[in-house]
Amino acid sequence: MVRVASEWLATCGGCEITILDIGEPLLDLLPKLQFVHMPVIMDHKYYGQTGEMEFNIPEADVGLISGSIRNEENAKVAQEMRKKCKTLVAVGSCANFGGIPALANMFTLQDMLDTVYRKTRTTVPADNPSMDITPLGDRVYSVSEVVKVDLGLPGCPTTPELIAQAIVALLEGKPFSLVERSVCDDCPTRREKKAVSSLKRPLDRVEFAPGQKYEDVRCFMEQGYLCLGPATRTGCGGTDKVPRCIRAYTSCRGCFGPIRAGANPMVDMMGALSSVGLDPRQIEDRMATFNRFVGVVGRLRPVAVR
Amino acid sequence: MKQIILQPVTRIEGHAKVTIQLDDQGNVADTRVNVVELRGFEKFCVGRPVEELPRIVPRICGVCPWAHHLASSKACDAVFGVEIPPVAKKLRELAYMGHFIHSHVLHFFVLSGPDFVMGPGADYTVRNVIGIAQKVPDIARQVLRTRFLGQMMTQILGGKAIHPDVSVPGGWSKPVTKEEVVKLKEMAKECLDFATFAMNFAKKDIFPQYLEVVKSYAPISTGFLGMVQDGALNLYDGNLRMMTADGKYEDFPGERYMDHIAEHVEPWTYLKFPYLKKAGGFSMALDKPVGIYRTNSLARINVVDRIPTPQAQAELEEFRKNFGRPAQLTLLYHWARLIELLYAAERAVELLADPGITDPNTRKAVTPRAARGVGVVEAPRGTLIHDYETDEKGLVKDVNIIVGTTHNNAAINMSVKKAAQDVIKNGKYDQGLLNLVEMAIRAYDPCLSCATHELDGRIPVRVNIVNHAGEIVANLVD
Ligand code: SF4
Ligand code: SF4
Ligand code: SF4
């Protein structure tokens, strides 16, 4: 029996739904797992069921954390999980690289609060809420910036397959690692390695015939649409391997993060674009596009308002 | 003065805590649902090319990403001034029905169900879906399967069930094939069978047991907001209908939402409080609320004149006969949710029977311009409004988003207060009674994702954010 604790920090819940999407294999795994704490489906409270105890998460063999760190409560919960869990797994791109919420790192906290409580169209302007609620941190942090993480599963959300494989490996005491290949390596589209004249925004459809095999469709980037496949780690396709966005005939936006730890998608993409003769400066909103899911460790910073 | 703090509120999406203040006699003086719901999407979507928003905003919620995806696509359509091809509309709505099936099954059986199947006062260690799996394994298996089918329907249609990108400004990025339609039909039919079973099961084995509780539990009286198309239920398209507590209503197009809705800020929660402007103010007083309206399943069931699918319509008639219009009892949200589950499955079957569904012309090209566009859908958790403004390059200048749960913020606070007053008397309470208070929250199926909760407010705290090398990278002072 493996004791599992699960927490979500500044999260959207998509990574938790992905756990449910494991489907039938989940039912087979269940008898081997004992969930000791998981607020999304279980009633265990931090301060006891009637609020009578000290802050507490039970001990567990495996801890799963999704979401980024946005406020001091998130940091406190992450630290408690680190203390109580033998193996800590960061699930999803928010936990690993900040994810979409880290786009907020392009703005100061004050600027964000001003927008939400004073400037949005329907809001009757007021002071920022401050009573009985956790103050927000200066920026968004990934879980791995704050506590040591033993294993990171990328993706927004990650895949049911990756979660299941990781849990099985942990159950069997076997090592688990991710491949260091790009989305392009698994993308079935056809590449001709010819130069592209100009880069397009996805305002029109990619060229393909309905029902046509992916192998006969030209690489979207070679059709002129920006695709982050070259700089993104593969894995999103799960068992059938075809990258998820490619299945919908839309370009990759990098949700699986860098191909290997520490790689910089911005630099990798500049290289990939130049190799097909494209000038990255044509891209509107480059900074946020290349760092859409990886906005921590200084990749996205507030810039002076023009 | 004593405070009871329930933290975290469990079996809901996202984070909240409940603060209950008792007076010297041990009766409830005040309650608050504190939400640290600050996503800041309204800020960081600014500057992005508007066509990227349907791919960014789904991350507001992984439980209802399709609602944000579609509201955002609709807002983009309006910004670009494009009328999408008829098949794109059908595909969007079809995927949305798959999504509703997943979301409603998840809520009724996995999140709220344990309170009913195991009993509200059952020990907290078994009052969950794993407890249900042990008590009624066959039903549990079917529940997980149906929810999964809903997800798989969206995956077939869009490549991705969570955080999809297939709905684009101007339509839908890929057609559905005839083979896929065959598979989808089978899946939709199985969902409809389960929805029919779920309705009958609940009416026979669940609701009667709790009917007395339902009828007396935490009553409040409010208005309701929902979408209608020619007076009928529609989750993807139509006008908005605002109904006041006395049953009078007014219809208006979604893009006129600002004439009707304003948002109020309280100092003790990051979540704002939308209210009906025309009521002339905002008050959560239980005896005399002002400007309060509710959204989500019960609201929709109340505002519509009819439901355009036969089984769900029959259920609506039975529901109205029993509870009137508008029905006010909070726990009836669950009943209404099951009627909608039936509707979603019936509507999916209907859309799949339309031969036009495989039309390959799913998308129109769009051209950036300076404009403003509003997109509205009914999210599983209530009316969802996305409002974008762009510059001439199509880069976003301004964003306003009001999500389903936010509309219910005031009502959730009122319901919690009423429930707490009803169950906590003379200082007596236990985990079962406090769970009854939480049930008042769960009925609304709130989605407080991206939100977290707070430390005990009475203790001043300082937290250093330390990296794994032990260096302080930031500190936060309470
Ligand atoms: S990684 Fe994506 S799916 Fe997971 S919590 Fe973050 S936003 Fe949601
Ligand atoms: S650039 Fe995009 S479309 Fe082209 S091969 Fe890579 S992932 Fe596929
Ligand atoms: S194709 Fe790219 S953006 Fe899409 S799911 Fe895969 S890694 Fe994520």
Digit-coded pLDDT (tens) for A8-47: 998 889 999 999 898 777 878 888 899 999 988 888 888 8
Q: Which residues pair with B233 in a beta bridge?
A: B228
**Portion of chain B with pLDDT greater than 90, in percent:** 67
Q: And the tokens for B392?
A: 């001439």
Pick from B129, B264, B400: which is nearest to A124 by CB?
A: B264
Cα B104 to its chain centre, rounded Å, is 9
- Say what the pLDDT of residue B105 is: 96
Looking from the CA of B31 toward its CB, the CA atoms found within 13 Å total: 33
Cα–Cα distance for residue pair B96/B103, rounded to 1 Å = 10
Q: And the tokens for B477?
A: 């002072």
> Over 50: is that where the pLDDT of B456 sits?
no
Q: What is the mean pLDDT of residues B327-345?
A: 95
Identify which of A28, A112, A288, A7 has the alpha carbon closest to the alpha carbon of residue B49. Answer: A288
Which residue in B has a C-alpha nearest to residue A19's C-alpha? B148
pLDDT category, B369, cuts 50, 70, 90? very high
Which residue spans within chain A are E strands per DSSP?
2-8, 33-37, 60-66, 69-71, 85-91, 136-141, 151-153
Whether residue A157 has a cis bond before it, omega within 30° of 0: yes
Tell me, in angstroms, the distance from the centre of ligand 2 to residue A183's CA.
Answer: 7
- Say what the pLDDT of residue B451 is: 31
Out of A150-154, B115-119, B136-140, B472-476, pick the least confident.
Answer: B472-476
> pLDDT of B203-262, one tens digit each?
999 888 877 776 777 789 999 999 999 999 999 999 999 999 999 999 999 999 999 999
Q: Which residues pair with B5 in a beta bridge?
A: B19
Which ligand is the nearest neighbour of the Cα of A258? 3
Q: How many residues are given for chain B?
A: 478
- Say what the pLDDT of residue A306 is: 43
Pairing type for strands A60-66 and A2-8 reads: parallel
Q: Is the CB of A226 under 6 A from ligand 2?
A: no
B60 vs A contacts (CB less than 8 Å)? 12
Cα–Cα distance for residue pair B421/A17, rounded to 1 Å = 34
Cα–Cα distance for residue pair A147/A138, rounded to 1 Å = 17
Pairing type for strands B249-252 and B239-243 reads: antiparallel
Q: What is the mean pLDDT of residues B406-424?
A: 91
> Over 70: is that where the pLDDT of B389 sits?
yes
> Over 90: is that where the pLDDT of B453 sits?
no
Q: Which residues pair with B400 in a beta bridge?
A: B387
- Say what the pLDDT of residue A134 is: 72
Provide the whole-model pTM. 0.93
Pick from A46, A75, A248: which is nearest to B160 by CB?
A: A248
**Contact (CB, 8 A) for A244 and A228:** no
**Contact (CB, 8 A) for A139 and A105:** yes
Residue A249 to residues A183, A207, A291, B11, B48, Cα–Cα distance (Å)? 14, 9, 22, 36, 21
Cα–Cα distance for residue pair A66/B249, rounded to 1 Å = 43
To test the pocket of ligand 2, the residue of A191, A196, A217, A220 to mutate (highest count of ligand atoms within 8 Å of its CB) is A220
Q: What is the DSSP letter of B447?
A: E
Cα–Cα distance for residue pair A84/A254, rounded to 1 Å = 32
Question: If residue A82 lies in a helix (H) or strand (E), which one and from where to where?
Answer: helix A72-84
Cα–Cα distance for residue pair B331/B354, rounded to 1 Å = 36
Pairing type for strands A60-66 and A85-91 reads: parallel
Q: And the tokens for B299?
A: 């609201």
Residue in this structure with the two tokens 């209503």, named with its chain if needed? B249
> Over 60: is that where the pLDDT of B455 sits?
no
Which of the residues in chain A have pLDDT under 50? 306
Residue in this structure with the two tokens 């396709």, named with its chain if needed? A237
Whether residue A230 has a cis bond before it, omega within 30° of 0: no
Q: And the tokens for A133?
A: 């609620």
Q: Please state, as a whole number, how many other Cβ atoms lie within 10 Å of the Cβ of residue A53.
A: 11
Determine whether the interchain pair A10/B165 forms a contact, defined as Cβ–Cβ distance below 8 Å: no
Q: And the tokens for B337?
A: 């949710």
Q: Is the CB of A245 under 6 A from ligand 2?
A: no
- Say what the pLDDT of residue B449 is: 64
Residue in this structure with the two tokens 């009707």, named with its chain if needed? B260
> pLDDT of A167-195, one tens digit each?
999 889 898 999 999 999 999 999 987 77
Identify which of A100, A79, A101 has the alpha carbon closest to the alpha carbon of residue A88. Answer: A79
Q: What is the dihedral of CA A274, A277, A282, A284, to 10 degrees?
A: -60
Q: Please state, as a whole number, how many other Cβ atoms lie within 10 Å of the Cβ of residue A78.
A: 29
To test the pocket of ligand 2, the residue of A219, A249, A268 to mutate (highest count of ligand atoms within 8 Å of its CB) is A219
Determine whether the interchain pair A284/B130 forms a contact, defined as Cβ–Cβ distance below 8 Å: no
Q: And the tokens for B69?
A: 């995806």
Q: Which residues pair with A151 in a beta bridge?
A: A89
> Over 90: is that where the pLDDT of B100 sits?
yes
Q: What is the mean pLDDT of residues B158-167?
A: 96
Tell me, in angstroms, the distance from the centre of ligand 3 to residue A254's CA.
Answer: 6
Q: What is the mean pLDDT of residues B33-38?
A: 67
Q: And the tokens for A142?
A: 């990934």
Q: What is the mean pLDDT of residues B417-440?
A: 89
Q: Which residues pair with A65 in a beta bridge?
A: A7, A90
Cα–Cα distance for residue pair A62/B131, rounded to 1 Å = 21
What's the whole-number average pLDDT of chain B?
89
B422 or A114, which is more confident: B422
Closest Cα in chain B, distance from residue A286 (Å): 10
Q: What is the mean pLDDT of residues B412-421?
A: 91
Identify which of B232, B204, B217, B269 has the alpha carbon closest to the alpha carbon of residue B408. Answer: B269
- Say what the pLDDT of residue B38 is: 63
- Say what the pLDDT of residue A23 is: 79
- Say what the pLDDT of residue B39 is: 62
Exposure pattern of A243-257 as b/e (b: 16+ CB <10 Å)?
bbbbbbbbbbbbbbb
Q: Taking chain A, what is the end-to-end CA distance rounded to the nearest angstrom?
A: 57
pLDDT category, B25, cuts 50, 70, 90? very high
Nearest Cα residue to atom 6 of ligand 1: A94
> Over 60: is that where the pLDDT of B476 sits?
no
Q: Which residues pair with B250 in a beta bridge?
A: B242
**Contact (CB, 8 A) for A52 and B102:** no
Burial (Cβ within 10 Å: 0-12, 13-18, ≥19) of residue A242: middle
> Over 60: is that where the pLDDT of B14 sits?
yes
Q: What is the mean pLDDT of residues B316-325?
A: 96
- Say what the pLDDT of residue A138 is: 83
Nearest Cα residue to atom 4 of ligand 2: A219
> Over 80: is that where the pLDDT of B349 sits?
yes
